[in-house]
Amino acid sequence: MQTLSVLIGILCAILLVPGLIPLLGWTLWATLFGSLVGIIFGAFPKRKIGLTINCAVALIAALRLFLGGGVF
């Protein structure tokens, strides 16, 4: 589960980068959903690196969506 959480976190972090560009904010919704799934998988193992990565990605995506009004 830890490996799956880390892989989801890395994939979401890669998707986060284009979402920071104006008018590509729609990718942040997929990033936010994916990182929430990664948070669920990362909550169970003893080591919490996957949980940390996914929480950071979700926080950045949610902040960017909040600042852009949910669309941009």
| Residue of 66, 64, 63 whose CA lies nearest to 20 | 64
Given this model, what pLDDT does residue 57 score? 96
The count of structural domains within the chain is: 1
Given this model, what pLDDT does residue 67 score? 87
Biggest CA pair distance of the chain = 39
CA distances, 29 to each of 16, 32, 57, 62 (Å)? 10, 5, 12, 9
3-state secondary structure of 35: helix
* Residue carrying structure tokens 């990182």: 35
- For the segment 3-49, what is each residue's pLDDT rounded down to a tens digit? 999 999 999 999 999 988 888 888 999 999 999 999 999 999 999 99
Residue 13 domain boundaries:
2-68
Given this model, what pLDDT does residue 72 score? 60
